[in-house]
Chain A
Amino acid sequence: MKLRANLVIGGALFALAILVGLLAPWLAHTDPVLDANLMNAEEPPSWTWWFGTDGQGRDIYSRVVYGARISLTVGIVSQLINSVIGVALGLSAGYFGGWWDDVVNALTNLMLAIPSLIFALAIMAVLGPGLTSLLIALGLTNWSFTCRIARASALSLRSQGYVQAATVLGYGDFRIMFTQLLPNMLGPLIVIGTLGMGSAVLSEAALSFLGLGVRPPFPSWGSMLSEARDQITTAPWLSVFPGLAIFLTVLGLNLLGDGLRDSLDPQSRSRRT
């Protein structure tokens, strides 16, 4: 696997984000929630407050650091849910075909027809704001691409010699799906998963903006950015740092996805699905 610039840069950015999230308790200067000292409200960036403080006097640097946890959780977990749903449906549809395939196809078309942000908005309205709701909302609404790719791969792999051979050898359906099909479609799935994580992080920000985001005790970058938007002219540091964190992480994920695609599948760059 040739190392490409986008793979390296993207991987590094993403790894950095993960690392920051993991090491948050050690990296952060203060508690992101409880260390609110209104006496220090809205300090601009300085040596004491690297990224400045917010309206409640909390250290933005620490909040950005802890924000990595929430934002990455949102990105990773919701995309995992998407992947599991998409792969389960797509793989089985492509493998079994028939009416089940029709059903899955109809479902996928349905999901494609409702813009996912709108669907997520509706789900958030039902479940109420919060991290779990958000994970569910984003996890349930973005699996159609994964599903299509899994289905298409399963369809094409199904006629491959080794899959037919497995059938001829008397393997059970599940054994075939898990040992013959799944491992051979992982490449594009990983790519789309990576890109999906990025878009989940952005969706979280968009939902926050629309008033249906995540507001657990720990901040997410999206909610920080959304809250700070009124002060973009007066206290720009409030939005610049979470904004940059989102930008760099999503950029990293996108680059990583591109890089993986190029490396895993040098022939067909981003074929349509």
Chain B
Amino acid sequence: MRILISALIALSLFVLSTVISHQYFHYQEPVLYQYVTEHYEEDCGTTNAVTAVLLNYRMYDTMFEVLILLTAIIGMKQFLPAPHELKDITKRRNLENK
């Protein structure tokens, strides 16, 4: 019963969004695409437009994304403690239980 309801919800969502997106879709002028493809060579000096967007035009995003990578690793160190880190955790827990 539970699976039927969620299947129904997912199906109706899919039909709703495809019908709405197909019926009302309207393409406006992709200005960003035109600007990048024409100016990326003299602006950033790369032969590949994707690197130009990634490292020059939107470098601000890439910096945050590298920060996310580092945070994921710090999270890894917190959630999966190595053997030597575990010794002081259990020591503190025994200290607390006393």
A, B from the same assembly: no
Interface residues of chain B, those whose CB is within 8 Å of chain A, are: none
